[in-house]
Amino acid sequence: NLPPVIAIDGPTASGKGTVASLVAQKLGFHYLDSGALYRLVALASEKEGIDVNNGPALGQLAENLQISFRGGQIFLGGEKVTQAIRTEANGLRASNIATQPSVRGALVGLQRSFRQKPGLVADGRDMASVIFPDASLKVFLTASASARAERRYKQLIAKGISAKLEDLLQDLEERDARDSSRGASPLVLAKGAQVLETSNLSIDQAVQTVLDWYQSTS
């Protein structure tokens, strides 16, 4: 019997990462931030000078990624890249390389290896549809584009990074469109997924809703 999975998918900046990691903490489950893997491939490919359209080279790079997670930090090779993968530019690059089936295929096994006892909370775009189709609970977590842009704006400003709300909204809509329209594992509402609209919910309310839904599955 495989350990249980809670799959949380949704668009950019919907808050799914925050909600998913808190749900994992509450349940004592492992947490997979699948977007971080695409961001790592994006950063590595930029360092190696690989074009975002070079599917075969990107696939090979993704197969051989030297990554590790230690003490809340992410390492690529020996280098700490926790911050570097989070930039807007790298996020856009990630959404480009994520359209390549070779990259997606290379990351399937790695993502599934996070499914360990006592359970896993996984967030991304295709957790429920492709990676963990047998998840115990499938949540599609979303919020309006303007609510998401505002959240990201506040996050960046809080970190002392300057940002323009207008540019963020535009980036976000560009990424939404690409993530939803690509041929390989597009962001879709998976069969059996429950929609959680968070535009008017606090983080605590969203976390509690997911926990309540999970209780009612078992």
What are the residues binding ligand C5P (CB under 6 A)?
12, 34-35, 38-39, 91, 94-95, 98, 124-126, 175, 179
When the beta carbons of 59 and 124 are compared against ligand C5P, the nearer one is: 124
Please tell me whether 72 is known to bind a ligand: no
d(Cα 53, Cα 113) in Å, to the nearest integer? 28
CB 99 within 8 A of CB 178: yes
Element (H, E) at 87: none
Q: Is 14 annotated as a binding residue?
A: yes
The nearer residue to ligand C5P, 41 or 210, going by C-beta atoms, is 41
Q: Hey, what are 119's tokens?
A: 């359970």
Q: Is 209 annotated as a binding residue?
A: no
| Residue 52 Cβ vs ligand C5P, minimum distance, rounded to whole Å | 12
> Nearest approach, Cβ of 212 to ligand C5P (angstroms)?
24
109 is in an annotated binding site: no
13 appears as a binding residue in the annotation? yes
Rounded CA separation 135/137 (Å): 5
- 94 Rama sector, left if φ>0, alpha if ψ -120 to 50, beta otherwise: alpha
Task: Tell me if 16 is assigned to a ligand binding site.
Answer: yes
Sequence-ordered strand ranges (E) for the chain: 5-9, 30-33, 67-70, 73-76, 79-80, 120-124, 137-142, 194-197
Q: How far is the CB of 216 from ligand C5P (least distance, A)?
A: 25
Which residues does 162 contact at the CB level (< 8 Å), separation at least 6?
Answer: 156
Q: How far is the CB of 76 from ligand C5P (least distance, A)?
A: 15
Return the number of the residue (45 or 95) whose C-beta is nearest ligand C5P: 95
Residue (28 or 206) nearer to ligand C5P, CB: 206
Tokens of 61: 């790079």
CB closer to ligand C5P out of 59 and 91: 91
Pick out the residues of the known binding site for ATP. Answer: 10-18
